[in-house]
Amino acid sequence: MTQSPWISAGEAARALGVTRPTLYAYVSRGFIRSEATATPGATRERRYSREDVDRVRRRAEERRDPGKVAAHALQWGVPILESSITLIAAERLYYRGLDAVELARTRSVADVASLIWGGRFDLPLSVPRAAHAAERASPAGALPFIARAQSMLAVASARDALASDLRPEGVALTGWRILALLASAATPGRGPISPASTIDARLAHAWRLKRADADVLRAALILCADHELNVSAFTARCVASAGSNPYAVVLAGLAALEGIKHGGLTARVEALLESLRGERRLKAALVERLRRGESIDGFGHPLYRNGDPRATALLELLRERYPKSPERKFAVNLADAAGALTRERPTVDFALAAVSRVLQLPPRSGLTLFAIGRTIGWIGHAIEQYAAAQIIRPRAKYVGDAPRQLSGAPERSPTP
């Protein structure tokens, strides 16, 4: 069952192991959010943010046992890098303080890239013709998207004379050239993208969609743009911290994203939808999957107890644009059946798979949209990391054998 984001004073105090006065002190100092309850006749009662209580509790544990924290520092929780790009708070997603869902409905891909890269909507972004040399020379047309994109990026990196300009303005321009190249990689054989064409319009045209369908692609790209320090963003920052150029940053990000525990999960969700499309009793079919030890992919996100807002926004957009679509209705029915069984809600992976089916996109297009959109975030993280001018170098906690002399090694002669 989905937990409420709010808990009572008693629950909060017990979770923290403190008295109520200490809890109230945390609230007064701004560490824990609270709000009045809606219970009639209990006007003085307040409830407290479960997320904030958990964070304060973890920090207390860190002070008591630093070694334990080090062992789990890279697993969902302890922030290890500062960033001003993305905030995940109160079940919402924000890019530089602006609601990502609202941006997806009102702004262009270029606007959001400009916002993430420079903190404003009007960065001068353009794609010179020279940026398409890699596309014309690439023999990678028959490869899957990620491999094709990585091949083209490697060629472009070697040929782009401006790739080593790591100033914020230079990285933003390189980032825009990279986005154009990825759009070309997603639509092989369609020719280079026009400097005047938007990324979503190029994809819509290449996939033979209606003009209105481009809005759905645009929303998907924007909602995938960044999601804090996920594994691909962290990988991208590590590569940037070494001083590698933005092409190398995106190459590394794509390698991480393709994994089945990250963006590659979209392909598993697409396979799930395809395998269940003819089922009339969806809940029974899902139960049978669980009995066979198979997973129900695309549901439940650790950062959103009440549902992934990106998925909610995309599924709502599909409802508005395609209310009679059989594929949309099937996706909704499947989400309802899975929710009734697991009490979990769709993630962005499920929503991308639904978009792909409703718009009848090529296979694995969910991952394509994810990768192109997330590239915006990788470039943003690279800009931040270049500015920090510090290499990311965590230490390892050694848990292997103690040092010992190599068996059979000759003894050292005594020093005269």
Q: List the catalytic residues.
A: 301, 349
Determine contact, residues 301/347, Cβ cutoff 8 Å.
yes
Strand-pair partners of 87: 94
The SS3 assignment for 209 reads coil
Cα 331 versus chain centre, distance: 22
Using CA atoms in the order 115, 121, 123, 128, what is the torsion angle rounded to 10 degrees? 90
Which residues contact residue 386 at a Cβ distance below 8 angstroms, ignoring those fewer than 6 apart? Answer: 166, 168, 171, 240
Determine contact, residues 56/33, Cβ cutoff 8 Å.
no
Strand-pair partners of 88: 93
Helices (H) and strands (E) in the chain, counts: 19, 6
Angle at 226 between CA 362 and CA 346, to 5 degrees: 60
Token digits of residue 321: 């644009």
Residues 405, 69: Cα–Cα separation, whole Å: 32
Phi, psi of 288 (to 5 degrees): -65, -35
**Which 8-state DSSP code applies to residue 408?**
T
From residue 385, alpha-carbon distances to 97, 186, 308, 380, 409 in Å are: 20, 28, 28, 9, 46
Nearest CA-CA partner of 216 in 360, 298, 104, 357: 104
For 276-306, give the DSSP string.
Answer: HTT-S-HHHHHHHHHHTT----SB-BTTBTT
**Which 8-state DSSP code applies to residue 30?**
T
Q: Would you tell me the crossing angle of helices 168-186 and 199-206 to the nearest 10 degrees?
A: 10
Determine contact, residues 318/216, Cβ cutoff 8 Å.
yes
> Between β-strands 46-49 and 6-8, what pairing exists: parallel, antiparallel or unpaired?
antiparallel
